[in-house]
Structure 1
Amino acid sequence: MSFIKKMFGSSSEPKEEKILPWIALNTTSQLDAIASKSLTKTQVIFKHSTRCGISRMVMNQFVDGYDLTENDLDLYYLDLISYRDVSHHVGTQFQVMHESPQLLIIKNGVSVAHASHGQINDLDLGKFV
């Protein structure tokens, strides 16, 4: 067996793609709704750069490790390349300096936690539900 197969597995079966309950975040008016909804349910914003390989890798790891449901929290996806103005308003409204990729956890109208790059996957979202 080759070294590559030992490292990455030799299964020829395609991996089933996991689909998360993403809500597209593409207008600044959604931010007030997110703050309002966070009074009763945790809101999460994932800021993703579609041009960045690191952002794609972190997002794939996030998706693979995600084990919550739509009942637990609302999960927003922000394509920050297409919606730069929304990304800027996220930082301003929730007082978090922009990084990419970035995850913000919103409760009671404020960001209670945030992480960027590899630290995103270290956050235990279950603690915020």
Structure 2
Amino acid sequence: MMLNKIDTLDQLEDLLKQEDKFFLLKHSLTCPISHAAYQEYQKYAEGNQGVPTYYLAVQEARPLSNEIAEKFEIKHESPQALLFKDGKAVWNASHWKITNRSLATALSENI
């Protein structure tokens, strides 16, 4: 399963309206930690296709990344994984805490 990339606030607004829940990864294209997190996120997405998985590249979508931090009052970090449910960010983790297991746990605790 491919991860879906978003770049704009409009795309995020559509997701918040259309999806009950979904994951979003803020991914830095230049950071080795982010690369490792992206691989974990991808592994999770491949094994758990019941929940949509999206990502944004911070360098390409900085306004969107900043808007997420402001709108949901979550300090920006990169990499950062967020779980959205019913239009709200209900969980987030950053850096080495982004693992296949932490994503699965986050989902099971926010069903």
Q: Which runs of 5+ in 2 are unaligned?
A: none
Moved over 6 A (4+): none
2:48 corresponds to which of 49, 62, 68: 68
Structure whose alpha-carbon radius of gyration is higher: 1
Correspondence for 2:103: 123
Contact 1:37/1:43, CA 8 A, preserved across alignment? no
- TM-score, with normalisation over the residues of structure 2? 0.84
Separation in structure 1 between the aligned mates of residue 44 and residue 89 of structure 2, nearest angstrom: 22
Give me the CA root mean square deviation.
1.7
Confirm or deny: 8 A CA contact 1:44 1:103 kept in the other structure.
yes
Match of 1:35 in 2: 16
The answer on whether the counterparts of 2:40 and 2:98 sit within 8 Å (CA) in structure 1 is: no
Give me the whole-angstrom Cα distance separating, in 2, the residues matched to 1:48 and 1:86: 12
Unaligned runs of 5+ in 1: 1-19
For residues 2 and 68 of structure 2, what CA distance do their matches in structure 1 show?
A: 20
Aligned residues: 106
Cα distance between partner residues in 2 of 1:99 and 1:47: 8
What is the TM-score normalised by the length of structure 1? 0.73
Q: Name the stretch that deviates more: 58-67 or 84-93.
A: 58-67
Shift of 1:61: 2.5
Q: How far apart are 1:114 and its partner, in Å?
A: 0.5
2:30 to 46, 51, 55: 51
More helix by share: 2
Query: AA paired with 2:8?
Result: T
